[in-house]
Structures are given as structure tokens and as C-alpha cells.
Structure 1
Amino acid sequence: NFSIRNASSELEDGKRILAFCDSQLEWLAQVGSSAQWGLEPYSTNDDTQEKYRAFVERSEQDQSWSKEWKKSYIAELDITEDQITKEIQPYLVHQPRTNSKSSLRLPVAAMLLTGHSEHYAQSILPEQDDQDPFIWIRYLLSDRRLGTLSKGAGLALIEHAKSVAQQMGIRRLCLDCWSGNDRKLVRYYERHGFVSLGDVSHNDWPSAVLELRLD
């Protein structure tokens, strides 16, 4: 089972999320999807580092619902001492836990949520809809360095996004994703209940806009 926590500036989760991004690049190339994110590492760009640091910092603040609302989350596995291997040891996080025997957690995936759609998707979905508001899943990604340990973390984060939305009285989740390579990523979301609203293209990057109704 995965535990979901708020992303933390103290734990440098902005950098962690970028490391997750970088971990995807080789894997995407292997499955024929290198055009999704390109080949250049994300973590080496100073502007990108600052952008993600600021996103996590903003998400830690108390916020009322608005288009500027931001939240970021990390999915983790509890790890016991006998499960530690040299492969996962560099990625472990030590955190005191009152409800768990383990103080070691392995971050395996991340999710970034916002209160507005991406500008290039707004021909299909408005920036926000006051009559039918939505939470936008900006990023959902796992750490490919961990192999099968991260399997299922994406779905756990989607379930968490549902809970966040329902607690706020919001009845749908929306996102866009790359639609290349025979729409494999689109089909992943469709398998988990999302419905395609239409396709867009931004700077020759094709994507599908999808929504998940919670009512």
C-alpha cells in the first residue's frame, strides 16, 4: 500500500519531482515515446528547478480555492530495515511516524494539481468553470529508477486526487496527456475512468484533454 503525503520544501521535493521526470526519459525512449518529453534532463535547468521549488512552496501554504490554487503530493512505500537494498538506499526518506513501525519511506511517485487548465487546452476546456469547477492534474509521474516498486502508485495518486476534489465539493478531475505512440497514455487514463473531451496540439506536441466525473 502507498502512503500519500504533501510535498515538502524541507525534504526538497521540488528536486525530487525533477529527478522523477529525468527517470522517465530513458524509459520513454525504450517504449517509443521519446517525443513525449524529449531527451534533455529537467533537473539540470536552473529555471526549472526554481519553478518546481516555488510550486512545492506554494502548495504548502493555506489556500482558498481559486485559479491560482496549487497542491503537490508524494506517494511513498513503507520500507523495513530488511527490505533495504543498495538500489533503493539512496532514495529513502527518514521520517518519524506515529502510526507506523517504519520510519523509512521510499518516495515512488508524485502528483501536481492546479486550479486551472493549461493554456493550450483551453480551446476544449476553459481555464476554469465556476458553474462546473474542476481540479487539473498537471503532472502524474513515477520514479522509473525503482522498477516495479512504483507500480500502482499513479492509480493511488488519482484516488487521492478524487478525495481532495470531493472534500472541496468539486465534482471532476481534468488533465491532458501526450496522445502520440498510438495513444497508449490516453488509454491508461481511459482505463481508470477518464473520458476524452478532444485533442489539441501545442508546438507540434499532440495531446488529449480528458475528464473524470466524480458524481
Structure 2
Amino acid sequence: MEIRIRKGGADDVPAILAMLDSAVAWLNGKGITDQWGTEPWSARPKAVRQVEETVLEGSPWIAEIDGVPAGTLTLTPHPGPHVARVEEPELYVRLLTIDGRFHGRGVGAALLAHAAEETRRQGLSLLRVDCFAGSEGRLVAYYESQGFTPTEPFTVGEWRGQVLERRV
């Protein structure tokens, strides 16, 4: 199984939404409903707009296995509106998601390694990401296993998040 990572674009928004929908179903199947809720992203107009805007302002990347979109992330020069900006130039990982059919195959690790390479290629040294901090911190621990260090926690309403950074 080879993971191929390609540059994405606006034409990939339907595939990105399909991966997000699959991830919601996968999470819900594991009993995790407080990360992304229970409703598919594609069924929520505000979420669809968020994906469209993030993809347009950033650089989307699509991981494929046998030509099938298996995961995605979009790199932007700043975080979303819920996270404080920093003084130095950075790349920020947004919309990282893995299609539920491809969990456990190293797709997320390959995308994060690609994000670190892209950060270096652009002459930057700071890569940041934020994630859901609930569910016993499993996602935070995953990012730590990928070389990230937690910096500051944040909340959006009842949703608890954690910002992490990686120096490259």
C-alpha cells in the first residue's frame, strides 16, 4: 500500500467533505460524538462554507491510496478564528481528516510529515495545529507522537481544544 500525497484545490472540496463525513461516522461508531457532532459536515451549510473558505485561503493536500482520497489537510499561514495568532511566520494544519475506511494505515502520519516538509520548503520553522482535547486526550497524545508539543488549551463554547506546535 503506497500513500501518494498530491496538491489539492477547489475541485477537491466535495472529496474533502466526503472524508469529513466519513470521519464523523467513524468517530460516532466509536462512541465519540462531542468532537465533531453527529451530523455530516456536508449537511451543515456553515461547515461547508468553512471548508470552502479554508481551502481557498490555504494549500490543500490530498493523500490517496490506490487513487482513492484517504485523507486530507490544508496548510494556511495562520490558524482559524478560535486560536490566537503568533508573532512569527508559520504554517497551520487545518481540516486534517482521515476517511474512516483508511484509519490505522499511516495516512495522518504521512500528511503531517508532508506538512513538516512543506514548512521547511517554505523556509519556516514553526508548524502548528489544534485538535479536540476531550476523549481522554487521545488526539493530543497522537499529535505528541508525531513530534508536536502542546502549547495552550482553548475552548469554543463547550468544545475543549488544544493547540500544539512542532519546530522543523
TM-score (norm 2): 0.90
Change (3 A) 1:8 1:2: same
Q: What is aligned with 2:166?
A: 212
Q: Which among 63, 69, 82 is matched to residue 107 of structure 1? A: 69
Question: What amino acid sits opposite 1:108 in the alignment?
Answer: A
1:155 maps to what in 2?
109
- TM-score, normalised to structure 1, is 0.71
1:99-158 CA distance string (max 9 Å, x none): xxxxxx111111111111233221xxxx2423xx211101211111x245x721111111
Distance in 2 between residues matched to 1:38 and 1:2, nearest whole Å: 28
The number of aligned residues is 167
Q: Give the AA of the match of 2:141.
A: R
> Cα offset for 1:28?
1.1
1-structure distance, mates of 2:154, 2:64:
33
In terms of Rg, which structure is larger?
A: 1
**In structure 1, distance between residues paired with 2:151 and 2:12:** 32
SS state at 2:34 partner: helix
1:187 alignment counterpart: 141
Which residue among 86, 90, 97 is the counterpart of 1:134? Answer: 90
Residue from 192, 198, 204 that aligns with 2:152: 198
Aligned counterpart, 2:33: 34
| Shift of residue 19, structure 1, vs aligned partner | 0.8
Q: Take 2:53 and 2:131, find their aligned partners in 1: how far apart are those partners?
A: 23
What runs of 5+ residues in structure 2 fail to find an aligned partner?
A: none
| Structure 1 moving runs of 4+ over 3 Å | 45-56
Task: Indicate whether 1:75 and 2:63 are aligned.
Answer: yes
Q: Which amino acid aligns with 1:180?
A: G
Per the alignment, do residues 147 and 169 of structure 1 end up closer, same or farther by CA in structure 2, a change over 3 Å counting?
closer
Matching residue of 2:123 = 169
